[in-house]
Amino acid sequence: MPLPRIKLPAETNDTSASVQRDLDRPTASEIYQQVSKNARRELSRPNLALAVSGIVGGLTMGLTGLSVALVRAQLGSSSIAAFVAMCFYPMGFMAVILGRGQLFTENTLYPVALMLTERRHFWNTMRLWGVVFSANVAGAFLFAMLAVRTGALRAEYADALSRLGVEAANYSASHIFWSAVVGGWIIAMVAWLVSGSHSITGAVMLIWALTFVVGMGHFAHCIATSGEILAAVLHGQLATSRYFLWLGPALLGNITGGVLLVTLLEYGQVNLE
């Protein structure tokens, strides 16, 4: 029977050093490599898989508005109640991102980052954007249908959700666009930071903290806010046209914030090292 192999001190030190290196903060280049790896995986998926994942993502993002509406209906409209309600705003983002659902605003980072280094992915990126965005909106519509047309929610909860949609839609196109720029910037930054996180706990904290800011600032998000506005439309509080008048500047703003303020700047940071 062979004797067990005893590790020499030098070997132990080498192993410890390797583990320590694994625990070091990743460099910008290492995060960029992880982002590109994620992009290759998503770009290789067929349309049907992307669409199903996108519908799940859009439906699940309804948890943002639903969570806020439930708390506001219970606590009222005071400033303290509004603050407590917004603490639950990140629920949808955490469920979608940790559950690996497709979220359009995350894809202003992943495939675009890869496309900047490998231009051949342009049309595949446009395919992914088209499928995921359409599926996310369909998922948000399904959430709105479930929330206000099925009797799943008590009347006061459905009313509170609809009020959130009315509040979000009643701004000028300019305000919606610039608000969405900030929202797109923050959500793309969430995707960047989560790609560099070593643990689920760290990822949860990052997602909660940054998406809480999105909620508190009432920054437009083309998918999360869609569930609220579509609920208001189906509840008879808004005209259907109002949703599309909101969606255009919100979508353009999210793309601008994600691509210009995160992806291009991080690409520059990596390539200037």
What's the pLDDT at 20?
Answer: 42
Flag whether 243 is in a domain: yes
What's the pLDDT at 271?
Answer: 78
Helix (H, G, I), strand (E, B) or coil at 15: helix
Q: In which domain, by residue range, is 95 found?
A: 27-271
Q: For residue range 57-89, list pLDDT tens digits in order.
A: 999 999 999 999 999 999 998 999 999 999 999
What's the pLDDT at 8?
Answer: 44
Let me know: does 183 contact 257? Beta carbons within 8 Å.
yes
Crossing angle of helices 91-98/47-60, nearest 10°? 160
Flag whether 55 is in a domain: yes
CATH number at residue 176: 1.20.1080.10
Q: For residue range 172-196, list pLDDT tens digits in order.
A: 999 999 999 999 999 999 999 998 8
Flag whether 4 is in a domain: no
Q: For the chain, what is the domain count?
A: 1
Rounded Cα distance between 24 and 113, Å, is 23
Share of the chain above pLDDT 90, in %: 77
The DSSP symbol for 223 reads T
Flag whether 22 is in a domain: no
In this predicted structure, the answer to whether residue 199 has a pLDDT above a threshold of 90 is no
Flag whether 12 is in a domain: no
What's the pLDDT at 266?
Answer: 86
Ordered alpha helix ranges (H), the chain: 9-23, 28-43, 47-60, 62-75, 79-86, 91-98, 110-117, 122-148, 155-169, 173-195, 200-216, 224-234, 240-258, 264-271
Let me know: does 128 contact 107? Beta carbons within 8 Å.
yes
Spacing of C-alpha 49 from chain mean position:
18
What's the pLDDT at 247?
Answer: 98
Torsion, Cα 134 136 141 143, to 10 degrees, reads 160
Residue predicted with more confidence, 268 or 137? 137
Mean pLDDT of 47-51: 97
Spacing of C-alpha 234 from chain mean position:
24
Indicate if the alpha-carbon torsion angle 205, 60, 193, 49 is positive or negative: positive
What's the pLDDT at 165?
Answer: 97
Ordered alpha helix ranges (H), 24-121: 28-43, 47-60, 62-75, 79-86, 91-98, 110-117
Rounded Cα distance between 261 and 257, Å, is 5
Flag whether 13 is in a domain: no
In this predicted structure, the answer to whether residue 14 has a pLDDT above a threshold of 50 is no
Flag whether 1 is in a domain: no
* Average per-residue pLDDT for the chain: 90
Flag whether 218 is in a domain: yes
Mean pLDDT of 4-32: 58
In this predicted structure, the answer to whether residue 116 has a pLDDT above a threshold of 80 is yes
Question: Which candidate, 115, 122, 102, 108, places its Cα nearest to that of 48?
Answer: 102
